[in-house]
Amino acid sequence: MARLRSNARALFWSALIFISLPGATVYLFGIFSEAWIRALVVVLAVLVFLTLVLLPYVFWLNRRSTITTRRIIMRRGFFVRERREIFHSRGYHVALKRSWLQSAFRSGDIVITSGVEKPIVLRDVPGADTVLEALQDLVEKNQILLSGHAGSVGTVTTAF
């Protein structure tokens, strides 16, 4: 039904550094005339790019959630992958937490508590109200389906 990532607002500072880093590097490269200082400027620019631009982007890409009609799947990690699933048929409690900044962007943290395991938190989900309503509807539909199947387990029909 949906594939979710946290709001791209988390990459704001990385994008700002990505935009300003080439200009700052060229400026500093032009100021210094010694070759070793110019090489140091380039090496520092590459290190800043890797740690403050590329790494946050890779971490953001490697955390996603998928909502299907049967379950919620959370995947995260780059070298060590972690996958958590929770089935709608098991039933769970869904809550929405928002900061003032998340409210301004209509996003929020969705906390899913099944009662058995530690809660699953979908962090900074865009359109959090819609996702919350969809999850509540899916749990309700799966509970209705289960109660319908439970009532028909004892009946046996034969056709002659």
**Per-residue pLDDT tens digits for 50-71:** 999 999 999 888 888 888 888 8
Beta bridge partners of 12: none
How many angstroms separate the CA atoms of 85 and 153, rounded? 27
CB count within 10 Å of CB 119 equals 14
Please state whether beta strands 2-4 and 93-97 pair in parallel, antiparallel, or not at all (unpaired).
unpaired
> Is 133 in a helix, a strand, or coil?
helix
Could you please report the per-residue DSSP string of 46-95?
A: HHHHIIIIIHHHHHHHTEEEEE-SSEEEEEE-SSS-EEEEEEGGG--EEE
The pLDDT score that the predictor gives to residue 134 is: 86
pTM recorded for the entire structure: 0.71
Residue with tokens 């490697």: 62
What are the residue ranges spanned by the domains of the chain? Answer: 2-61, 70-151
Q: What is the pLDDT of residue 150?
A: 53
Tell which wins on pLDDT, 23 or 159. Answer: 23
Q: What is the pLDDT of residues 33-56, one digit of tens each?
A: 999 999 999 999 999 999 999 999
At position 126, the amino acid (one-letter code) is P
Question: Burial of 11 by CB count in 10 Å (0-12 exposed, 13-18 middle, 19+ buried)?
Answer: middle
Residue 123 clears pLDDT 80, i.e. is over it: yes
Phi, psi of 68 (to 5 degrees): -110, 180
User: What does residue 138 show for φ and ψ, rounded to 5 degrees?
Assistant: -65, -40
pLDDT > 70: what percent of the chain?
91
Q: What is the pLDDT of residue 10?
A: 86
Give residue 149's pLDDT: 60
